[in-house]
Amino acid sequence: MNRARISAIDEIAPNVFELHASMIEPTRIEHEPGQYVSIHIRSSTEQRSYSLASPADQTDGFVLLVRRIGGTGSQFLAGLEVGAEMEFDGPRGNFRLAPGPGDAVFAATGVGVSALFPMMESLLARPGTGRVLFFWGLMNAEDQFWSARLARLAQDPRFTSRLVITAAGDGFVTQPVIDTAAELSAPIYYLCGNGQMVKDVVDWLVARGIDRYRQIRTDWS
Ligand SMILES: Cc1cc2nc3c(=O)[nH]c(=O)nc-3n(C[C@H](O)[C@H](O)[C@H](O)COP(=O)(O)OP(=O)(O)OC[C@H]3O[C@@H](n4cnc5c(N)ncnc54)[C@H](O)[C@@H]3O)c2cc1C
Protein backbone atom coordinates (compact mmCIF):
# COMPACT_ATOMS: atom_id res chain seq x y z
CA MET A 1 0.00 0.00 0.00
CA ASN A 2 1.26 3.48 -0.93
CA ARG A 3 0.87 6.72 0.99
CA ALA A 4 0.67 10.34 -0.14
CA ARG A 5 -0.06 13.66 1.58
CA ILE A 6 -2.59 16.21 0.31
CA SER A 7 -0.65 19.34 -0.67
CA ALA A 8 -3.43 21.43 -2.27
CA ILE A 9 -7.13 21.33 -3.06
CA ASP A 10 -8.45 23.46 -5.93
CA GLU A 11 -12.14 23.88 -6.75
CA ILE A 12 -12.06 24.28 -10.53
CA ALA A 13 -15.74 23.99 -11.55
CA PRO A 14 -19.10 23.42 -9.84
CA ASN A 15 -18.70 20.19 -7.81
CA VAL A 16 -15.33 19.40 -9.37
CA PHE A 17 -12.04 19.73 -7.53
CA GLU A 18 -8.38 18.88 -8.05
CA LEU A 19 -6.61 17.01 -5.26
CA HIS A 20 -2.83 17.52 -5.33
CA ALA A 21 -0.79 14.93 -3.42
CA SER A 22 2.91 14.53 -2.59
CA MET A 23 4.33 11.04 -2.29
CA ILE A 24 5.36 9.78 1.15
CA GLU A 25 5.88 6.01 0.67
CA PRO A 26 7.41 5.28 -1.79
CA THR A 27 8.86 8.72 -2.44
CA ARG A 28 8.26 8.53 -6.20
CA ILE A 29 5.40 7.35 -8.40
CA GLU A 30 5.85 6.14 -11.99
CA HIS A 31 2.81 5.90 -14.23
CA GLU A 32 1.77 5.77 -17.84
CA PRO A 33 -0.77 8.35 -18.99
CA GLY A 34 -4.28 6.91 -18.70
CA GLN A 35 -3.63 4.87 -15.56
CA TYR A 36 -5.49 5.23 -12.26
CA VAL A 37 -4.98 4.72 -8.53
CA SER A 38 -7.31 2.91 -6.11
CA ILE A 39 -7.93 5.09 -3.07
CA HIS A 40 -8.60 3.38 0.26
CA ILE A 41 -11.65 4.88 1.92
CA ARG A 42 -10.78 5.43 5.58
CA SER A 43 -12.83 3.43 8.12
CA SER A 44 -13.98 1.12 5.35
CA THR A 45 -12.63 -1.81 3.39
CA GLU A 46 -13.82 -0.12 0.20
CA GLN A 47 -11.70 1.46 -2.52
CA ARG A 48 -12.53 3.82 -5.38
CA SER A 49 -10.59 4.36 -8.59
CA TYR A 50 -9.43 7.79 -9.80
CA SER A 51 -7.48 8.52 -12.97
CA LEU A 52 -4.14 10.25 -12.66
CA ALA A 53 -4.69 13.73 -14.09
CA SER A 54 -1.05 14.78 -13.81
CA PRO A 55 1.51 14.34 -16.59
CA ALA A 56 3.62 11.16 -16.57
CA ASP A 57 6.81 13.14 -15.91
CA GLN A 58 5.51 14.26 -12.50
CA THR A 59 6.95 11.60 -10.17
CA ASP A 60 7.08 13.29 -6.75
CA GLY A 61 3.28 13.31 -6.48
CA PHE A 62 0.10 13.35 -8.53
CA VAL A 63 -3.17 15.14 -9.17
CA LEU A 64 -6.66 13.62 -9.06
CA LEU A 65 -9.75 15.25 -10.53
CA VAL A 66 -12.84 14.43 -8.50
CA ARG A 67 -16.50 15.04 -9.19
CA ARG A 68 -18.38 15.47 -5.93
CA ILE A 69 -21.45 13.26 -6.27
CA GLY A 70 -22.10 12.58 -2.59
CA GLY A 71 -21.22 8.88 -2.66
CA THR A 72 -18.79 7.11 -0.32
CA GLY A 73 -15.61 7.77 -2.31
CA SER A 74 -16.11 11.30 -3.55
CA GLN A 75 -17.43 12.35 -0.13
CA PHE A 76 -14.36 10.87 1.56
CA LEU A 77 -12.00 12.72 -0.81
CA ALA A 78 -14.01 15.96 -0.48
CA GLY A 79 -13.58 15.74 3.29
CA LEU A 80 -9.77 15.54 3.21
CA GLU A 81 -7.80 18.65 4.16
CA VAL A 82 -4.36 19.87 3.16
CA GLY A 83 -1.81 17.88 5.20
CA ALA A 84 -4.01 14.74 5.44
CA GLU A 85 -2.60 11.36 4.43
CA MET A 86 -4.18 9.21 1.76
CA GLU A 87 -3.57 5.48 1.19
CA PHE A 88 -3.79 3.94 -2.25
CA ASP A 89 -2.82 1.06 -4.53
CA GLY A 90 -1.50 1.47 -8.03
CA PRO A 91 -0.93 2.98 -10.53
CA ARG A 92 -2.98 0.41 -12.41
CA GLY A 93 -4.82 -0.11 -15.67
CA ASN A 94 -4.43 -0.90 -19.33
CA PHE A 95 -6.01 2.31 -20.63
CA ARG A 96 -2.77 3.45 -22.26
CA LEU A 97 -1.55 4.97 -25.49
CA ALA A 98 -1.18 2.57 -28.40
CA PRO A 99 1.94 2.72 -30.56
CA GLY A 100 1.60 3.70 -34.19
CA PRO A 101 1.48 6.72 -36.48
CA GLY A 102 -2.30 6.85 -37.16
CA ASP A 103 -4.88 9.40 -36.07
CA ALA A 104 -6.22 9.37 -32.50
CA VAL A 105 -9.69 10.26 -31.24
CA PHE A 106 -10.19 11.09 -27.56
CA ALA A 107 -13.78 11.41 -26.34
CA ALA A 108 -15.04 11.92 -22.80
CA THR A 109 -17.89 13.28 -20.76
CA GLY A 110 -17.39 15.46 -17.68
CA VAL A 111 -14.42 14.54 -15.48
CA GLY A 112 -13.65 11.60 -17.79
CA VAL A 113 -11.11 13.97 -19.34
CA SER A 114 -8.90 13.37 -16.31
CA ALA A 115 -7.28 10.37 -17.98
CA LEU A 116 -7.34 11.90 -21.48
CA PHE A 117 -5.38 15.14 -20.95
CA PRO A 118 -2.13 13.40 -19.87
CA MET A 119 -2.58 10.93 -22.75
CA MET A 120 -3.05 13.69 -25.34
CA GLU A 121 -0.10 15.66 -23.95
CA SER A 122 2.15 12.60 -24.15
CA LEU A 123 0.96 11.68 -27.64
CA LEU A 124 1.57 15.17 -29.03
CA ALA A 125 5.07 15.12 -27.49
CA ARG A 126 5.86 12.26 -29.89
CA PRO A 127 7.05 13.36 -33.33
CA GLY A 128 5.40 11.93 -36.44
CA THR A 129 2.00 11.01 -35.05
CA GLY A 130 -1.26 11.67 -36.89
CA ARG A 131 -4.13 13.97 -36.06
CA VAL A 132 -5.44 14.18 -32.50
CA LEU A 133 -9.17 14.89 -32.23
CA PHE A 134 -10.66 15.67 -28.82
CA PHE A 135 -14.40 15.64 -28.02
CA TRP A 136 -15.60 16.75 -24.59
CA GLY A 137 -19.22 16.52 -23.49
CA LEU A 138 -20.50 18.74 -20.68
CA MET A 139 -23.96 19.58 -19.41
CA ASN A 140 -23.33 23.32 -18.89
CA ALA A 141 -20.77 25.79 -20.26
CA GLU A 142 -19.68 26.71 -16.71
CA ASP A 143 -18.72 23.07 -16.08
CA GLN A 144 -15.66 23.52 -18.27
CA PHE A 145 -12.21 23.65 -16.66
CA TRP A 146 -8.57 23.34 -17.76
CA SER A 147 -8.97 26.02 -20.47
CA ALA A 148 -5.26 26.94 -20.29
CA ARG A 149 -4.26 23.27 -20.54
CA LEU A 150 -6.55 22.90 -23.56
CA ALA A 151 -5.11 26.06 -25.16
CA ARG A 152 -1.58 24.60 -24.85
CA LEU A 153 -2.69 21.45 -26.70
CA ALA A 154 -4.32 23.61 -29.38
CA GLN A 155 -0.95 25.17 -30.23
CA ASP A 156 -0.07 21.91 -31.98
CA PRO A 157 -1.39 21.90 -35.58
CA ARG A 158 -2.23 18.18 -35.30
CA PHE A 159 -4.76 18.91 -32.53
CA THR A 160 -8.44 19.90 -32.85
CA SER A 161 -11.08 19.95 -30.14
CA ARG A 162 -14.83 20.17 -29.97
CA LEU A 163 -16.75 21.00 -26.84
CA VAL A 164 -20.30 19.62 -26.82
CA ILE A 165 -22.65 21.29 -24.33
CA THR A 166 -25.95 19.50 -23.92
CA ALA A 167 -28.27 19.34 -20.97
CA ALA A 168 -29.68 16.10 -22.35
CA GLY A 169 -28.07 12.98 -20.96
CA ASP A 170 -24.55 13.57 -19.71
CA GLY A 171 -23.17 15.77 -22.48
CA PHE A 172 -23.10 13.05 -25.10
CA VAL A 173 -20.39 13.34 -27.72
CA THR A 174 -21.56 10.30 -29.65
CA GLN A 175 -22.78 12.02 -32.83
CA PRO A 176 -19.80 14.40 -33.27
CA VAL A 177 -17.41 11.44 -32.92
CA ILE A 178 -19.38 9.44 -35.47
CA ASP A 179 -19.47 12.39 -37.90
CA THR A 180 -15.66 12.55 -38.19
CA ALA A 181 -15.01 8.81 -38.52
CA ALA A 182 -14.82 8.72 -42.32
CA GLU A 183 -12.05 11.34 -42.57
CA LEU A 184 -9.55 9.53 -40.32
CA SER A 185 -6.52 7.39 -41.13
CA ALA A 186 -5.96 4.17 -39.09
CA PRO A 187 -7.59 5.76 -36.02
CA ILE A 188 -7.32 4.61 -32.43
CA TYR A 189 -10.28 5.60 -30.24
CA TYR A 190 -9.86 6.42 -26.54
CA LEU A 191 -13.24 6.67 -24.79
CA CYS A 192 -13.82 7.54 -21.14
CA GLY A 193 -16.68 8.58 -18.87
CA ASN A 194 -20.42 8.08 -19.29
CA GLY A 195 -21.10 4.37 -19.84
CA GLN A 196 -23.92 4.91 -22.33
CA MET A 197 -21.79 7.24 -24.46
CA VAL A 198 -18.93 4.73 -24.46
CA LYS A 199 -21.28 1.86 -25.38
CA ASP A 200 -23.00 3.83 -28.17
CA VAL A 201 -19.72 4.90 -29.77
CA VAL A 202 -18.19 1.41 -29.49
CA ASP A 203 -21.28 -0.25 -31.02
CA TRP A 204 -21.33 2.22 -33.92
CA LEU A 205 -17.60 1.90 -34.64
CA VAL A 206 -17.61 -1.91 -34.47
CA ALA A 207 -20.62 -2.06 -36.81
CA ARG A 208 -18.55 -0.09 -39.33
CA GLY A 209 -15.57 -2.39 -39.19
CA ILE A 210 -13.37 -0.72 -36.55
CA ASP A 211 -11.44 -3.43 -34.70
CA ARG A 212 -12.73 -3.50 -31.07
CA TYR A 213 -9.45 -4.79 -29.64
CA ARG A 214 -6.81 -3.04 -31.76
CA GLN A 215 -8.48 0.33 -32.38
CA ILE A 216 -10.73 1.05 -29.37
CA ARG A 217 -9.65 1.61 -25.79
CA THR A 218 -12.16 2.40 -23.03
CA ASP A 219 -12.08 3.22 -19.34
CA TRP A 220 -14.45 3.72 -16.37
CA SER A 221 -17.39 2.00 -18.03
C1 LIG B 1 -10.78 3.33 -13.79
C2 LIG B 1 -11.68 4.40 -13.18
C3 LIG B 1 -11.22 5.71 -13.09
C4 LIG B 1 -12.03 6.68 -12.52
N5 LIG B 1 -11.57 7.96 -12.45
C6 LIG B 1 -12.33 8.91 -11.86
C7 LIG B 1 -11.86 10.27 -11.78
O8 LIG B 1 -10.76 10.60 -12.26
N9 LIG B 1 -12.66 11.19 -11.20
C10 LIG B 1 -13.92 10.87 -10.68
O11 LIG B 1 -14.59 11.76 -10.13
N12 LIG B 1 -14.37 9.58 -10.75
C13 LIG B 1 -13.60 8.62 -11.31
N14 LIG B 1 -14.08 7.33 -11.37
C15 LIG B 1 -15.35 7.02 -10.68
C16 LIG B 1 -15.02 6.78 -9.17
O17 LIG B 1 -14.28 5.59 -9.03
C18 LIG B 1 -16.27 6.62 -8.34
O19 LIG B 1 -17.08 5.62 -8.90
C20 LIG B 1 -17.05 7.91 -8.22
O21 LIG B 1 -16.27 8.91 -7.57
C22 LIG B 1 -18.32 7.67 -7.42
O23 LIG B 1 -17.97 7.04 -6.22
P24 LIG B 1 -18.70 7.35 -4.84
O25 LIG B 1 -18.16 6.39 -3.85
O26 LIG B 1 -18.64 8.82 -4.54
O27 LIG B 1 -20.19 7.02 -5.18
P28 LIG B 1 -20.93 5.62 -4.85
O29 LIG B 1 -21.10 5.50 -3.38
O30 LIG B 1 -20.20 4.52 -5.54
O31 LIG B 1 -22.30 5.90 -5.55
C32 LIG B 1 -23.26 6.76 -4.96
C33 LIG B 1 -24.41 7.00 -5.90
O34 LIG B 1 -24.01 7.84 -6.99
C35 LIG B 1 -24.24 7.19 -8.22
N36 LIG B 1 -23.09 7.51 -9.07
C37 LIG B 1 -21.94 6.82 -9.10
N38 LIG B 1 -21.10 7.42 -9.99
C39 LIG B 1 -21.78 8.48 -10.50
C40 LIG B 1 -21.47 9.49 -11.44
N41 LIG B 1 -20.27 9.51 -12.05
N42 LIG B 1 -22.39 10.44 -11.71
C43 LIG B 1 -23.59 10.43 -11.11
N44 LIG B 1 -23.95 9.51 -10.20
C45 LIG B 1 -23.07 8.54 -9.91
C46 LIG B 1 -24.34 5.71 -7.93
O47 LIG B 1 -25.18 5.09 -8.90
C48 LIG B 1 -24.95 5.71 -6.55
O49 LIG B 1 -26.34 5.82 -6.63
C50 LIG B 1 -13.32 6.34 -11.98
C51 LIG B 1 -13.76 5.02 -12.09
C52 LIG B 1 -12.96 4.07 -12.68
C53 LIG B 1 -13.46 2.64 -12.75
Q: Which range of residues forms the domain containing residue 49? A: 2-92
Is the full-model pTM beyond 0.85?
yes
**21 compared with 178, residue with greater pLDDT:** 21
CA angle 60–37–126, rounded 5-degree value: 65
Is the pLDDT confidence value at 167 over 80? Answer: no
69 lines ligand 1 (CB under 6 A): yes
Is the pLDDT confidence value at 44 over 90? Answer: no
| pLDDT score for 220 | 78
38 lines ligand 1 (CB under 6 A): no
Tell which residue, 215, 185, 194, has the closest CA to residue 135: 194
The verdict on 82 and 116 lying in the same domain is no
The verdict on 122 and 40 lying in the same domain is no
13 lines ligand 1 (CB under 6 A): no
| pLDDT score for 171 | 55
The verdict on 41 and 67 lying in the same domain is yes
Structural domains of the chain, count:
2
Q: Whose CA is nearest to atom 21 of ligand 1?
A: 74
Query: CA 62, 68, 71, 76 torsion: positive or negative?
Result: positive
